[in-house]
Amino acid sequence: MATTKKAAPKAPKIEAAKTAIVLIEPQYDFLKPGGSMYQFIAKQLEKRKVIPNLVDLVNKARPKIKKIIYVPFEAFEPGFPEIDKKGPGMGGLRGLEIDMPTGWKINGKPVSGAWVAGTPGPEIIPELTPKKGDLIVRGKKTLDAFWSTALDYTLRVNMIEWVVIVGFHTNWCVESTARSAYDKGYRVIVIGDCTGTDTDTEQEYAEKFIFPKIGHVMKYKDFLKSLV
């Protein structure tokens, strides 16, 4: 018996007045030479034109949607005194980030580690500088942008229903935040060509197997066309 191919889900009509773009970690440590994690993501950023796509998205969406919300990762003091070196915070990704080489210096001395205060690493890149009316939600110290911040409160007091997630890394902070948004009852959209990670394999897995189960994956131009 012949099988029929399941049709791809139709792009949703998105209520602009109830929509926020959540822009995760558009910072030097990811996006500029010298950044601790730029060395791993640089080829993907260039190949997929992620930064130009993000710039075009936020500039064109800003006058249409309710809010653009920046959620940068918060800085650590040099030497990471906030984290006990023998504690659980040193496990997994955070422990790896602490030892990553960078191109930054403080008082002429090379600095290792991501998000170090006094370096460009934690700063938002100039191309994506927030504009008047944009919001910056502070406090992010975890993969999930909801967990250690007032993001949920900010979305709810602005009567947001559609949460559109962009930023870095696709299969780390973007995925964690998207899962959390879904569990909190938001309508979730991930803009695939406005996210980035280290490899094609990681990007494609998240877009194919994870995001369709918690919301919609869209290209940014399709998202803009879907606003009503």
Cα–Cα distance, 193 to 176 (Å, whole number):
18
pLDDT tens-place string over residues 159-174: 999 999 999 999 999 9
Reported as a pLDDT band with limits 50, 70 and 90, residue 11 is confident
Amino acid at 182: Y
Helix (H) or strand (E) holding 218: strand 216-218
Structural domains present in the chain: 16-74+123-226 (3.40.50.850)
- pLDDT of amino acid 126: 98
Nearest to 220 by CA among 9, 14, 8: 14
pLDDT tens-place string over residues 113-154: 999 999 999 999 999 999 999 999 999 999 999 999 999 999
Asked if 25 and 176 count as a contact pair (C-beta separation under 8 A), the reply is: no
Which residue reads 């910072």 in tokens? 27
pLDDT exceeds cutoff 90 at 19: yes
Report the pLDDT averaged over residues 6-21.
83
Helix (H) or strand (E) holding 70: strand 67-71
> What pTM was estimated for this model as a whole?
0.94
DSSP designation for 141: -
What is the distance of C-alpha 213 from the center of its chain?
19
Helices then strands (H, E): number in the chain?
8, 8
Cα–Cα distance, 95 to 147 (Å, whole number):
19
Reported as a pLDDT band with limits 50, 70 and 90, residue 9 is low
CB atoms within 10 A of CB 1: 2
Helix (H, G, I), strand (E, B) or coil at 64: coil
Q: In whole numbers, what is the pLDDT of the chain averaged over residues? A: 95
Q: Which two tokens stand for residue 135?
A: 């919001």
pLDDT tens-place string over residues 47-105: 999 999 999 999 999 999 999 999 999 999 999 999 998 999 888 888 899 999 999 99
pLDDT exceeds cutoff 60 at 3: no
